[in-house]
Chain A
Amino acid sequence: MIKVSELRKEYKVHERSPGLLAAAKSVFHREYKSVLAVGGVSFEIAAGERVGFLGPNGAGKTTTLKMLAGLLHPTRGEARVDGHEPRRREDAFLKKIMLILGQKQQLFWDLPPSETFEYNRAIYDVPRKQYDETMSELTTLLDLGELVKKPTRQLSLGERMKCELAAALVHRPKVLFLDEPTIGLDVSMQAIIRAFIKQYNERWGATLLLTSHYMDDVAALCPRVIVIDKGKLTYDGKLDALSARIRPAKRVVFRFSRAVDRADVEPIGKIVSFDLAQAVLDVPRDALNEAVERALRTLPVTDLTVENPPLEEIMSELFARGEAVP
């Protein structure tokens, strides 16, 4: 569905030193510097897949999404989305895709969202019957109800995001590019948006490429992740496999019935935190059985949980390394 090979984007920016004199000079003579946003990225995404697109700020995620959506022209390399070359911006291509930008909005600010829906219906040439069906489904799934009749500026951020999603899906796009769709939302609204995105993918078989700084989004939605850093691809594969490779340890939390000695806990695993009645340890995956057995035998354990280290930690470790993961 999506095929990207050696995609590259350089920006020309003009550079000047701070200060008034430098500013005055730059009016007459400008020095341009080429900044590499995306430096030769290749990947393929099959129809119906949900893929998380991760990377630190300025890694080139948004630039890549915008190239895939046809907003930016690649400097080099090729992108294909369902057989189309995005940069040509053919109507047939634009009718299949949508880019949702969590930080920007397309709804008419002073009018109810229903006006934007109708406007998009006309632009995308959606037959009335299909439009009515889509809208009634979206209204149920997103619990829009009376929201669509209130002027957009009177809606809360979360309500607005729901309506943004609905406006973006009027034409039932087959490919969705989502750039931070949950940014700034509270936890429960994030969960609602996430669940909806997943439902949309399952209901219509749409292909999803999503960026987010909230790892919960990625963990809940994307079995596969593509990680880029400084414009280079550093990982492409299963999310679980990434965790296992970056942090070959499991995180084990023990609760004790009485205070224990730190010295007694140390042999079991690497201590992450310790406060007499509770210990959090990192234990290598292959040594897990042995470690748990030993703890149960030697310590007054009342409760224990085993989990993967939080995705946030894994990501920051990956970004800090700044190199490709085999």
Chain B
Amino acid sequence: MRRYAYLLYIQLKASTLLAMQYRGDFVVDLLIELVWAATAVVPLFVVFAGRSSIAGWTYPEALVVTGWFTLLQGLLEGAINPSLVNVVEQVRKGTLDFVLLKPADAQFLVSTTRFQPSKAINAITATLIFVYAFRRIGHGPTAGGLAASLLLMVTASILLYGLWILTVSAVFYVVRVDNLTFLFTAIFDAARWPSSVFRGVAKIVFTFVIPLALMTTYPAEAMLGRLHPSSLALSLGGALFFAVFSRAVWVRAIGKYTSASS
């Protein structure tokens, strides 16, 4: 366990060194992140112009969802995406050989090869959005609500990571999954909206297949103090299921690895 923590530290350090190696790039990256974060709020402005609530969500309440979306997007693009996009490349080129030669868990190793530290700015943006939203609402979240939302953030991270592992596992069967990874990012974008906005098939898909509702809407509801306990249970169960299922699929998939010839 200590060894893994140390390996994670080395890789985080390496990514940070890399990010700061070119000072100019680093500053530009940070500025771009700020602009992106600002644009996260723009769709809400447009939709809420001229009406006070949508699908039971007022403007500041919907902002809380956006806050969670921003936070998770930062996690996805900063800590999950860079490494796992890399796996696709490693499988195609056959350099995954080196990972499999190491006496350590392969899933851990491929999941920690690269980080994008500049995405940490999303955490700051999300906090600003939360503060602004709750000032408009007029009162802060309860301690219980906050605790529940933090717990849900953990389950959301597990869900997101599990989904990614499932997507990446496909690479062992079809090799080129770049498009699949783009599709994943595109679908994730829908998580910026409260889940009650979606109806019919979309609602079912986004709850059970790609559980976007569990990722952003539930934590927001928890923060707003209106999360049903059954949703909390659903989230915990869902995260556990995805963790176990994705691990099983990964182990099976890695057995299919045939390595690229010399």
Residue of B11, B102, B257, B258 with most chain A CB atoms under a 10 A cut-off: B102
Secondary structure class of chain B's binding surface, majority of residues = helix
Q: Please, what's the 1-or-0 string for A165-184, where 1 marks a CB less than 8 Å from any CB in chain B?
A: 00000000000000110000
Name the segment of A63-71, A127-135, A188-196, A249-257 touching the other chain.
A63-71
Knowing A103-B262, A104-B93, say if A118 contacts B10 (CB, 8 Å). Answer: yes
Q: Does B98 contact A (CB under 8 A)?
A: yes
Closest to B7 in A: A122
**Prevailing SS type, chain A contact patch:** mixed
Tell yes or no: B234 within 8 A of A by CB.
Answer: no
A275: CB under 8 A from chain B? no
* Smallest Cβ-Cβ distance to A92: which chain B residue: B103
A235 within 8 A of B: no
Whether A94 touches B3, Cβ cut-off 8 Å, given contacts A62-B261, A72-B259, A119-B10, is no
Asked if B97 is at the interface of the complex by the 8 Å CB criterion, the answer is yes
Report chain A residues within 8 Å CB of B94.
Answer: 104
Q: How far apart are the CA atoms of A62 and B14 in the complex, in Å?
A: 32
Query: In the complex, which residues of chain A have a beta carbon less than 8 angstroms from the beta carbon of B257?
Result: 71
Whether a CB of chain B sits under 8 angstroms from the CB of A286 is no
Q: Which residue of B3, B14, B18, B262 contacts A180 across the interface (Cβ within 8 Å)?
A: B262
Nearest CB in chain A to that of B97: its residue: A71
The segment from A17-25, A106-114, A291-299 found at the interface with B is: A106-114
CB proximity of A176 to chain B, nearest CB, Å: 12
Whether A66 and B97, one on each chain, are in contact in the complex, defined by CB atoms closer than 8 angstroms, is yes
Chain A residue contacts of B174, Cβ below 8 A: none
User: Chain B residues near A179 (CB, 8 Å)?
Assistant: 262
- Is A115 in the interface zone, CB < 8 Å from B? yes
A259 to B156, CA, bound (A): 89
Report A122 CB to chain B, min CB distance, Å.
Answer: 5
Is A27 positioned at the interface, with any CB of B under 8 Å from its CB?
no
Is residue B32 within 8 Å, beta carbon to beta carbon, of the partner chain? no
User: How far does the Cβ of B12 sit from chain A's closest Cβ, in whole Å?
Assistant: 12
Contacts of A105 in B (CB 8 A): 95
Q: How far is the CA of A60 from the CA of B189 in the complex (A)?
A: 47
Contact among A94, A106, A108 with B103 in the assembled complex (CB-CB below 8 Å): A94
Interface string of B88-112 (1 = CB under 8 A from A): 0000011101101111100001000
Instruction: Contact check, B258 vs A70: say whether CB atoms are below 8 A apart.
Output: no
Contact between A101 and B18, CB atoms less than 8 A apart: no
Q: Is the CB of A94 within 8 A of B14?
A: no
In the bound complex, CA of A103 to CA of B260 (Å): 11
Q: Which residues of A contact B95 (CB under 8 A)?
A: 104-106
Nearest opposing residue in chain B for A62, CB measure? B262
Contact for A94 among B11, B21, B93, B102, CB less than 8 A: B102
Shortest Cβ distance from B261 into chain A, in angstroms? Answer: 6
Contact A119 B7 (CB under 8 A): yes
| Contact between A98 and B18, CB atoms less than 8 A apart | no
Which B residue sits closest to A63, measured CB to CB?
Answer: B261
Q: Does B38 contact A (CB under 8 A)?
A: no
B6 within 8 A of A: yes
A66: chain B residues at CB < 8 Å are: 97, 259
The residue from B10, B17, B97 contacting A104, defined by CB atoms under 8 A apart: B97
**A73 CB contacts on chain B under 8 angstroms:** 255
Kindly report which residue of chain B lies nearest to residue A95, judged by CB atoms: B103
Task: Tell me, in angstroms, the Cα distance from A180 to B7 when the chains sit together.
Answer: 30
Q: Which residues of B contact A (CB under 8 A)?
A: 3, 6-7, 10-11, 14, 17-18, 21, 93-95, 97-98, 100-104, 109, 255, 257-259, 261-262
**10 pairs of residues in contact across A and B, judged by CB atoms under 8 Å:** A62-B261, A71-B257, A89-B100, A95-B103, A98-B101, A103-B262, A115-B14, A120-B102, A122-B3, A123-B109
